[in-house]
Structures are given as C-alpha cells and as structure tokens.
Amino acid sequence: MRLLLLTSVRTGELRGSTWKEIDLESAIWAIPGERMKMGHPHVVPLSTQAIEILKEVREITRANSVDDYLFPNVRDRSRPMAATTINAVLIRAGFNHERLFRAHGARGTFSTWAYEQGFTPLAVERQLAHVEKNRVSRAYNKAEFLPERQRMMQDWGDYLQNIGS
C-alpha cells in the first residue's frame, strides 16, 4: 500500500510489476506499454522512500531473477498477487464500512496534492499516465517532464513521510 501511494500507479500496474522494470540506481520504474491501461509505456520516477521500500520488498520476497514479481502470489510465485489483495488490506484496516478509501483513491489523493502544490498540469497528468485527448497534440508532444516529475515525486514522498511520523 505504501508503494502504491508513493508511485500513484494503478493497482494492476503495481501487482504485475517485475524486477526487470525497476532501476534502483536511476530511481526509475519503466512499465512496458502492454501492461498499461492505454497501451503506452510509462516511466515512474521513484522517490528515496519508494526505493527504500523496494529494497525491503526484494529482501522479504527473496527475489533473485529480473523476471520475479515484486509482489508474487503467496500460493504460486509464477503469478502476481491477487487483484483483491490491496483492497482487502484496506478493509482489514477498517476502511470498509463507509467506503472511506479504496486503492484507486490513492491516485486522486496524489493528484489533488500535486495540483495544490503548483506542479504543472502536464507533469501531473503525465505522472498519472493520462494521455492528451487531442490527437494532434498527442502525436507531437512526447515530453515526459521527468525533471519536474522527479521533484514532484520526491516532494510527495517527503510529504507522506512527514504526515506518517
């Protein structure tokens, strides 16, 4: 759940991630297009907090191959964790009765925070892997806005760390 919050990816992107997508040295997670909702590759800058979690996850799961899932299924390591796992954690934490929060809500929380902090709309939307609706603009503008997105994700990681302590 912490990594989902820190990266603002969709739950399916998190669940299906393998170690070959993660570059801890460059602090980048490169999700191939075939795993993305819109079919386009997506680059996720990783905060220092996200990198710490990934290192912990690697130790806990004892991943030793780039093809290993970050979060393998407990019954069959050749499959990712179940689709219901993340929301089941939230239910066990008490977020069930009034539907206060679901995993997908992490993206909306991040988006609201990023806009309130004054990050540019194009960078925020690119971080959420949203594509330009205008076909001409989409065809010409391939910008990733990585410097701003790296700063944004580190600021977000720092913010989450500060409210959690």
Classify 44 as helix, strand or coil.
strand
Catalytic residue selected from 55, 138, 140, 151: 140
Q: State yes or no: pLDDT of 148 exceeds 70.
A: yes
Q: Give the range of the structural domain holding residue 30, as residue numbers without chain letter.
A: 2-164
Rounded mean pLDDT, 59-71:
88
Residue pLDDT, tens place only, 70-105: 999 989 989 999 988 888 888 887 776 556 667 778
Residues with Cβ within 8 Å of 24's Cβ and at least 6 positions away in sequence, in order, are 46, 51, 54, 55
Catalytic residue selected from 35, 58, 102, 130: 130
Say how many domains are in the chain. 1
Is the C-alpha dihedral spanning 44, 48, 53, 56 positive or negative? positive
Is 159 annotated as catalytic?
no
Is 130 annotated as catalytic?
yes
Token pair in block for residue 55: 């290192």
Is 20 annotated as catalytic?
no
Catalytic residue selected from 15, 42, 107, 126: 107
CATH number, domain containing residue 107: 1.10.443.10
Question: What is the DSSP pairing of strand 28-31 with strand 42-45?
Answer: antiparallel
Is 104 annotated as catalytic?
yes
